[in-house]
Amino acid sequence: MSNYLIIGGHGKVALLAAPILVDEGHSVTSLIRNPDHVADVEATGAKALVLDIENASAEELADAMRGMDAVVWSAGAGGGNPARTRAVDFDAAVRSMEAAKAAGVSRYVMVSFLSSSLDHKVPEDNSFFTYAQAKAEADEYLRGSGLDYTILGPGGLTLEDPTGQVDLHQVDYDGDSSTSRANVALTIAAALRNPGSIGKTFRYSDGSTPIDSAVS
């Protein structure tokens, strides 16, 4: 049994990933900002921990991570406010990476998006620019952090049922990128199970390859 911390624990992906990990016999702690969401999180079998990552210090995050075997980043500002997007999707993400190192947690799984890249070509006057830039910089920071990372890059998220199958893509893939959140949850669990996923970035959409094979 392993101990996992999911950051962004009330997000749709996290609420699907937590019961998968719990059913596998692991102990899951889901970090959330809003205490009103405790019951939703605990219904998944996870323990809820209230901590606002936007304002939490690296020391507070490290305290939350001590004793964990892995950290999963599944948080996001949700767009709309560029300053908050930057504060959560880059600043808080980087603090969480440094906190993981301080807490002695080497395994880190990042949920990103399919086309995340420093060469994303999103113009600065596009409303998506701040998110694209923040995520790309956070991913790049993680690659150089020394952590045993896996970066998961699903395409456009849907609420479809899980299929357990995906197709892997290159960063410039421009076909149908629909990816069910349920499949993203399954890729989180598969990455944590599979040491062969360490040091790799997986860009994917719903497809025809079993998830465990895709992340091998």
Active site residues: 131
Please name the helix (run of DSSP H) or strand (run of DSSP E) that holds residue 212, with its range, or none: helix 211-214
Q: What do you get for the CA distance between the two ends of the chain, in Å?
A: 21
Q: How many CB atoms lie within 10 A of CB 121?
A: 9
Quickly tell me which residue has 């767009």 as its tokens.
79
Q: At what angle do helices 12-23 and 181-193 cross, to 10 degrees?
A: 40
Length of the chain: 216
Quickly tell me which residue has 């990476």 as its tokens.
97
Which residues are CB-contacts of 160 (< 8 A; sequence separation ≥ 6)? Answer: 178, 180, 182, 206
Please name the helix (run of DSSP H) or strand (run of DSSP E) that holds residue 44, with its range, or none: none
SS3 43: coil
